[in-house]
Structure formats: structure tokens, C-alpha cells
Amino acid sequence: MKKWLIPVIVIIVIVFGVYNWVKGFNNEAVVLQEDAKTTWSNVESAYQRRNDLIGNLVKTVQGAADFEKETLTQVIEARSKATSTTINAGDLTPENMAQFQQAQAGLTGALSKLLVSVERYPELKANANFLELQSQLEGTENRINIARDKFNNGVNNYNKHIKTFPNSFLAGILDFDEMARYKANAGSENAPDVNFDFKK
């Protein structure tokens, strides 16, 4: 065997090894990133379902005599802001996430106020359509929580993949950036518990 073949074979083996490493990292990062983006779409879908239900809830409440117009106006305006604040799955920056969360939190607060106000309207508390919408809202809130947890889990898997060494070296070269997680709003741990059960 000729001596010059040995370094050539070594170089080929090294190049092949580096190629497989880069290829493996890139493909795994793409899969994890796309999975996380898909779970974000599910988060937005769950919030959209809530927005649709709130729209129907507002229509039902509007039929009640002398219901607080200011409360309804706040819900309508907060819903409008929440539905207009969306994030492209490819642009999940911390700033965009914070803006989205703020809009959703505003709607949550307005909805809570509306549901507390309903206590003073026996005809609404006995309205079958209203009770059905409340039940669907409860289920949707659970879906939102599950979707957010799945999104954060997907983001966590992706971030760990691109931030662990030596993957972090390739992440910078191949332009894989860290994704933002969905964080709880400040003070949400102290948020008042709104009772959805008016079937008394």
C-alpha cells in the first residue's frame, strides 16, 4: 500500500465524520424546530377557539336587560385586540411572545369581570345557551393550558439540542436561534379564581 494513501484515507474519514455530524445536527434541529412551530399553531388555535366562544358569549349577554355596557365594551375591545395580535411561527421572539401574552391576558381579565357581573343577572344564570358556552369555555381553557405546556416542551427540546456543546458551535454557523418559551404573566400566580359554575 502506497504511503500517500494513508493520509488521504484519514482525511476522507475525517471529512465523512464531520459531514455526518453536521448533517445529523442540522436535520434534528430542523425537526425539533418544526415540531415546536406546529405546537405553537395549536396554541393559537386554542386561543382562537376561546375568542370565538367569547364572541358568542357576548351576543348572549347583550340580550340581557340593562347589562353593564362598560363591561361588555371592555370584553369586545379586549377580544378585538387579542384576535388581531398573532405571531408567525417563524418569528417567535421574546418581544412578540410578550405582546401576544399581554393581549390574551387583557382578554382574560375582561372576561373574568364579565363573568363576575353575571352573578347579578338570574335570567343569564338560567340561560341554557349561556351555561353551554360557559362549559365550553372551561374546556377551552384546559386545552389552552395543555397546548402551552406542549409548546414549551417542544421549545425546550429544541433549545437543549442547539445549546449543548458541541452543537452550540454549529447552531451559530447554521443560524439556528433559541426559541422563546411561553411564560406566565407577572402576577398571574395571584390572579383571582373566577367561578364558572352558575348552575346553582
* Residue 11 placed within a domain: no
Question: Residue 147 is part of which domain span?
Answer: 43-184
What is the number of domains present in the chain?
Answer: 1
Distances, alpha carbon 158 to alpha carbons 14, 26, 106, 154, 163, in Å: 27, 11, 30, 6, 9
Specify the range with the lowest mean pLDDT, choosing from 16-20, 42-46, 59-63, 128-132: 59-63
Mean pLDDT of 120-146: 89
* Residue 24 placed within a domain: no
* Residue 71 placed within a domain: yes
Give residue-wise pLDDT tens across range 183-195.
876 544 444 344 4
Output the pLDDT for position 183. Answer: 83
CB atoms within 10 A of CB 162: 21
Output the pLDDT for position 186. Answer: 56
Average pLDDT, the chain: 87
Mean pLDDT of 13-20: 94
* Residue 169 placed within a domain: yes
> Between residues 83 and 68, which one has the greater pLDDT?
83
* Residue 38 placed within a domain: no
pLDDT bracket for residue 1 (50, 70, 90): low
